Amino acid sequence: MDYIKGIAFDLYGTLFDVHSVVGRCDEAFPGRGREISALWRQKQLEYTWLRSLMNRYVNFQQATEDALRFTCRHLGLDLDARTRSTLCDAYLRLAPFSEVPDSLRELKRRGLKLAILSNGSPQSIDAVVSHAGLRDGFDHLLSVDPVQVYKPDNRVYELAEQALGLDRSAILFVSSNAWDATGARYFGFPTCWINRTGNVFEEMGQTPDWEVTSLRAVVELFETAAGKAEKG
Amino acid sequence: MDYIKGIAFDLYGTLFDVHSVVGRCDEAFPGRGREISALWRQKQLEYTWLRSLMNRYVNFQQATEDALRFTCRHLGLDLDARTRSTLCDAYLRLAPFSEVPDSLRELKRRGLKLAILSNGSPQSIDAVVSHAGLRDGFDHLLSVDPVQVYKPDNRVYELAEQALGLDRSAILFVSSNAWDATGARYFGFPTCWINRTGNVFEEMGQTPDWEVTSLRAVVELFETAAGKAEKG
């Protein structure tokens, strides 16, 4: 792995658990939290893809709010302004997956440049990462906002290359979203898919270079490679 | 409605029922037909959007087959080559919604130019429409294939304007897919959403000009307008 000099991480669903909003949804609509969270996430993604294709970008906070409105209307739930605001704010305080803080420190300690490359707005990314106390671990927080289009458009992946000042072949892209990992691999990043929940990969003509079950396993990839290099 | 000189129809889900494959799916995987059909359609759409964003077009038959592979792997179902072929072929013999043949004849009789504007490949569109005996009713069968990108990219909607030789303001766009109706309306088509199943419209900053529950109601829009014009 010594050709890898930097890592670009997806944020939502990869480092942070988007379904950590289930509790908040359940408080607002008892017994419906899981259902709301699942459809909300699905629609949030669809709106980023569709708006990109229509060339009608709105930022991620807006797309997230729109998706919540749709979700509640679809489920026949009355969403007042206060609840909407509470639930959208929950997206700014997502919880990181448990192994994430320690694993990021390990990767940083190895001298790798670390970047977030996210659909989020600059404000959302900063809020989520800062709330978890992880802001200092990253060299770059990269939002799609400057290019006004969402993943998996190549213009987004290019942002990481530019910011890290590295060729794409030297940047490991890490995502739990199989469609994002597919886009990254077509772009030319060596790509690791974190598959925490036993999903199957997308059928779009790519497979990830590595498939692991947690970020801890990404650290181990580097440790194993370093161990081999020492022995060799 | 006398400013409307032509109609562009979406095909899948609008004139033809994509869930008419449920029976075939149920024969192959007893008791699982509905579940397979729903996820298959969802993934089929996702793959068209994602491949468009990645600039990695494959035709609709391929995207449909890929989506079926994903669906069966996701559901833990063993999809052999023969079943795959049987189910994909079912997509070439979808059933039209019951009111569609008569309604199309009525619209044609009014001197409107009629076109299909579909994500399907030229072969798929021709197969579906011919199988239902509706080929002669259309002036144009328009596939996304020449532009190698899927709806809701504007380049697709432009195909209808070019083929019909009409300004977009003179073309009624008819779709049951709310995201497609949204894209068409952003493009500038007067747009009718056929909402047969009590869905809610997407939250992407547009609403349809007309919302109806069947294609028969589109005929009635023209009849009512003509009646008013006579009286006036």
Quickly count: other Cβ atoms within 10 Å of residue B78's Cβ.
8
Phi, psi of B161 (to 5 degrees): -60, -45
Picking from B47, B52, B67, the nearest residue to A53 by CB comes out as B52
User: What average pLDDT does range A4-23 have in this prediction?
Assistant: 94
Task: Give, in order, the Cα–Cα distances in Å from A116 to each of A134, A156, A164, B51, B74.
Answer: 11, 12, 11, 23, 29
Query: Which helix (H) or strand (E) segment is B179 a member of?
Result: helix B178-187
CA B162-B126-B72 angle, 5° bins:
115
- What's the complex ipTM? 0.96
Picking from A67, A73, A204, the nearest residue to B50 by CB comes out as A204
Q: How far apart are CA B58 and CA B148, in angstroms?
A: 8
Handedness of CA A147, A149, A153, A157 (dihedral sign): positive
3-state secondary structure of B1: coil
User: Which positions in chain B touch A152 (Cβ < 8 Å)?
Assistant: 50, 53-54
Any residues with CB less than 8 A from the CB of A110 and at least 6 apart, and which? A222, A226
Picking from A51, A150, A204, the nearest residue to B51 by CB comes out as A204
Pairwise CB contact (< 8 Å): B56 & A186: yes
3-state secondary structure of A194: strand
Size of interface A-B (CB pairs under 8 A): 91
Mutate to test the interface with A, among B204, B206, B207 (most CBs of A within 10 A): B204
Query: Which helix (H) or strand (E) segment is A23 a member of?
Result: helix A22-28
Q: How far apart are CA B174 and CA B189, in angstroms?
A: 9
Q: Is A105 annotated as a binding residue?
A: no
Give residue A232's pLDDT: 66
Given the DSSP bridges, would you call strands A95-96 and B171-175 parallel, antiparallel or unpaired? unpaired
Domains of chain B: 6-16+95-222 (3.40.50.1000), 18-91 (1.10.150.240)
Query: Per-residue pLDDT for A95 more than 70?
Result: yes
From the list A65, A67, A30, the residue with the least C-alpha distance to A46 is A67
At B147-194, the pLDDT tens digits run: 999 999 999 999 999 999 999 999 999 999 999 999 999 999 999 999
Q: Which residue of B has its CA nearest to A182?
A: B54
Pairwise CB contact (< 8 Å): A150 & B53: yes
Give residue B229's pLDDT: 80
At A54-92, the pLDDT tens digits run: 999 999 999 999 999 999 999 999 999 999 999 999 989
Kindly report the pTM of this predicted structure. 0.96
Pairwise CB contact (< 8 Å): B150 & A53: yes
Pairwise CB contact (< 8 Å): A56 & B154: no
Give residue A20's pLDDT: 84
Task: Give, in order, the Cα–Cα distances in Å from A202 to each of A99, A119, A162, A191, A209.
Answer: 25, 19, 28, 14, 14
C-beta separation of B43 from B67 below 8 A: yes
User: B158 in contact with A at a CB cutoff of 8 Å?
Assistant: no
Given the DSSP bridges, would you call strands A191-194 and A171-175 parallel, antiparallel or unpaired? parallel
